[in-house]
């Protein structure tokens, strides 16, 4: 028997995986990922970048239409529904993060939801869960072909590379493509992969998720129509290897040896709408402020002589004086100072008015950043330390090794649902919020997964 190539093994696995392979642990984790993605996506429909993308997408028409989350009257061609909903998910950098580093859900769920609503036969909830997990799994497998991928990225935004492959795999699964067609879907998707990190901290970064969702869906549908790509796209030096300098691929195991990566590697859920690294520095800053107040009695800006941040080296999250919300979401300095000044960081912390406060700018002027050699640029190994020094010579130091929401310290189900509800209720009516929670909570028992879309359109009168 001939040994399968890497790409061929992926195509075979995508085709062969079935719902009996889903474990209780994977179902539970993926339902949490879906709920969180929908919550941050609904909140994201109130952002400027989403509304610009929506206005652009409304100029396109097609016979098939799919819904836009949080919009009761607007439908778009499925590819553009996937595009704008994906943008909404990442518009505030609030979506889940995996290890190695990527945002796995935002590239997959918008594509599947759009496809579900356009198919003549409606997939069941279990079908949707399977396709979602196939899309997540492909991303996880691809990232594990590189040790470089385990670190905070330096050259490109990972969802733009592995996310489009995950979207293609998930869409191919839901479409029921053959093994060869699944391989071709990956090959087609690979030609839409990649986005430079230079566009991080700009309005363009959310497009990376939207493009991944849209282009992966398109790749699967083109493969369904017979379009072919290189059947060895994952095997070749000039194939997927071009994205990773230390690429070392291995075949996807067949069903007898298969185990979901999500079974062992959970995701991180964010408590604040910012780059994942900011969660460490916020928690450390809040702890340092508490120590200062316990000793001095109150927090007085004029007391502070210097603030030292000891963080991992990462150029694209080192933004000393942010002027936009997107820069602020990628600034160790801004997030530490916001936490020190306000004793909290929230969605509103990234508004223009908050960013431009004189008191905040004064604190920012006192920040020094250090990058100790032992502080590795990995979401699994990094730490953040904040030291606040006063004019009286006092020093207050706090360190965060694992924030609440990290995969080592996961959000409780109660807090995850609360996060979803607080965000979704800014857009949906009560029936819509509760309906989404119910459908996701019972997804493996739902007969028609398109029911989810009806709840995502139940907007409150204030939002519309």
pTM of the predicted protein model:
0.96
pLDDT tens digits for range 4-51: 799 999 999 999 999 999 999 999 999 999 999 999 999 999 999 999
At how many degrees (to 10) do helices 48-57 and 78-90 cross?
Answer: 170
- Per-residue pLDDT tens digits for 323-370: 999 999 999 999 999 999 999 999 999 999 999 999 999 999 999 999
Cα separation, 260 vs 21, whole angstroms: 9
Question: Would you say the C-alpha torsion 167, 170, 175, 181 has a positive or negative sign?
Answer: positive
| Distance of alpha carbon 308 from alpha carbon 286, whole angstroms | 14
Query: Is 236 a residue whose pLDDT tops 80?
Result: yes
Q: What are phi and psi of 308, to 5 degrees?
A: -110, 125
Interatomic CA distance for residues 128 and 106, integer angstroms: 15
Is residue 2 predicted with pLDDT exceeding 80? no
Q: Which residues pair with 132 in a beta bridge?
A: none
Can you give the pLDDT at residue 272?
Answer: 98
* pLDDT score for 464: 54
The C-alpha atoms of residue 436 and residue 176 are separated, in whole angstroms, by 26
β 395-400/384-390 pair status:
antiparallel
Q: What digits encode the pLDDT tens for the residues 405-456?
A: 999 999 999 999 999 999 999 999 999 999 999 999 999 999 999 899 999 9
Looking at residue 56, what is its pLDDT?
96
Sign of the Cα pseudo-torsion (409, 410, 416, 420, in order): positive
Say if residue 317's pLDDT is above 90: no
Pairwise CA distance, residues 235 & 237, whole Å: 7
Cβ-based neighbours of 422, under 8 Å, separated by 6 or more: none
pLDDT (tens digit, 9 = 90+) per residue, 142-183?
999 999 999 998 899 999 999 999 999 999 999 999 999 999
- Give 256's pLDDT tier (boundaries 50, 70, 90): confident
pLDDT (tens digit per residue) in 80-116? 999 999 999 999 999 999 999 999 999 999 999 999 9
Rounded-to-integer distance, Cα 29 and Cα 25, Å:
6
Q: How far is CA 205 from the centre of its chain?
A: 12
CA 175/CA 452 separation, integer angstroms? 19
Q: Is residue 288 within 8 Å of 340, Cβ to Cβ? A: yes
CB 89, CB 209: distance < 8 Å: yes
**Across 72-84, average pLDDT:** 96
Between 198 and 316, the more confident residue is: 198
| Higher per-residue confidence, 423 vs 317 | 423
Percent of the chain with pLDDT over 90: 91
- CA–CA dist 169, 153 (Å, integer): 23
Please give the average per-residue pLDDT across 261-271, as a whole number.
97
Residue of 380, 442, 368, 374 lying closest to 407 (CA atoms): 380
Give residue 1's pLDDT.
Answer: 42
Count of other CB atoms within 10 angstroms of residue 294 = 9
d(CA 310, CA 385): 5
Rounded average pLDDT over 315-323: 88
Q: What is the 3-state secondary structure (H, E, C) of the chain?
A: CCCCCHHHHHHHHHHHCCHHHCCHHHHHHHHHHHHHHHHHHHHHCCCHHHHHHHHHHCCCCCCCCEECCCCCCCEECHHHHHHHHHHHHHCCCCCCEECCCECCCCCCHHHHHHHHHHCCCCCCHHHHHHHHHHHHHHHHHHHCCCCHHHCCCCCECHHHHHHHHHHHHHHHHHHCCCHHHHHHHHHHHHCCCCCEHHHCCCCCHHHHHHHHHHHHHHHHHHHHCCCCCCCCCCCCCCCHHHHCCCCCCCCCCCHHHCCCHHHHCCCECCCCCCCCHHHHHHHHHHHHHHHHHHHHCCCCHHHEEEEEEECCCCHHHCCCCCCCHHHHCCCHHHHHHHHHHHCCCCHHHHCHHHHCCHHHHHHHCCEEEECCCCCCCCCCCCCEEEEEEECCCCEEEEEECCCCCCCCCCCCHHHHHHHHHHHHCCCECHHHHHHHHHHHHCHHHCCCCCHHHHHHCCECCCCC
Residue 225, pLDDT score: 97
């Amino acid at each position: 028997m001939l040994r399968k190539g890497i790409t061929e093994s992926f195509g075979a696995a995508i085709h062969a995986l079935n719902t009996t392979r889903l474990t209780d642990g994977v179902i539970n984790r993926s339902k949490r990922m879906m709920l969180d993605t929908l919550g941050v996506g609904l909140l994201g429909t109130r952002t400027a970048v989403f509304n610009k993308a929506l206005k652009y997408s409304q100029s396109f028409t097609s016979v098939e239409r799919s819904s836009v989350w949080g919009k009761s009257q607007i439908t778009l061609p499925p590819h553009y529904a996937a595009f704008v909903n994906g943008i909404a998910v990442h518009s505030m950098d609030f979506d889940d993060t995996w290890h190695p580093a990527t945002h796995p859900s935002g590239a997959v769920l918008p594509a599947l939801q759009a496809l579900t609503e356009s198919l003549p036969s409606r997939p069941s909830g279990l079908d949707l869960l399977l396709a979602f997990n196939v899309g997540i799994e492909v991303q996880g497998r691809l990232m594990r072909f590189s040790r470089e991928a385990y670190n905070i990225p330096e050259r490109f935004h990972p969802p733009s590379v592995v996310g489009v492959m995950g979207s293609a795999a998930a869409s191919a699964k839901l479409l029921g493509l053959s093994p060869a067609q699944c391989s071709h879907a990956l090959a087609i998707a690979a030609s839409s992969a990649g986005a430079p990190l230079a566009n991080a901290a700009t309005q363009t970064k959310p497009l990376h998720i939207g493009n991944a969702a849209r282009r992966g869906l398109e790749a699967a549908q083109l493969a369904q129509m017979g379009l072919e790509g290189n059947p060895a796209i994952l095997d070749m030096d000039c194939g997927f290897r071009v994205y990773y300098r230390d690429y070392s691929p291995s075949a996807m195991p067949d069903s007898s040896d298969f185990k979901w990566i999500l079974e062992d590697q959970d995701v991180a859920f964010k408590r604040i709408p910012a780059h994942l690294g900011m969660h460490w520095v916020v928690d450390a800053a809040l702890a340092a402020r508490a120590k200062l107040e316990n000793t001095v009695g109150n927090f007085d800006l004029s007391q502070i002589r210097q603030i030292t941040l000891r963080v991992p080296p990462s150029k694209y999250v080192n933004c000393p004086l942010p002027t936009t919300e997107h820069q602020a979401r990628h600034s160790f300095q801004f997030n530490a100072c916001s936490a020190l000044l306000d004793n909290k960081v929230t969605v509103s912390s990234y508004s223009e008015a908050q960013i431009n406060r004189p008191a905040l700018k004064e604190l920012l002027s006192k920040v020094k950043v250090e990058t100790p050699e032992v502080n590795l640029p990995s979401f699994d190994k990094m730490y953040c330390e904040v030291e606040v020094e006063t004019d009286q010579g006092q020093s207050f130091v706090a360190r965060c090794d694992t924030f609440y929401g990290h995969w080592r310290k996961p959000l409780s189900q109660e807090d995850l649902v609360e996060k979803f509800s607080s965000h979704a209720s800014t857009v949906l009516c009560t029936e819509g919020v509760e309906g989404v929670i119910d459908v996701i909570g019972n997804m493996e028992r739902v007969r028609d997964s398109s029911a989810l879309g009806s709840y995502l359109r139940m907007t409150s009168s204030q939002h519309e």
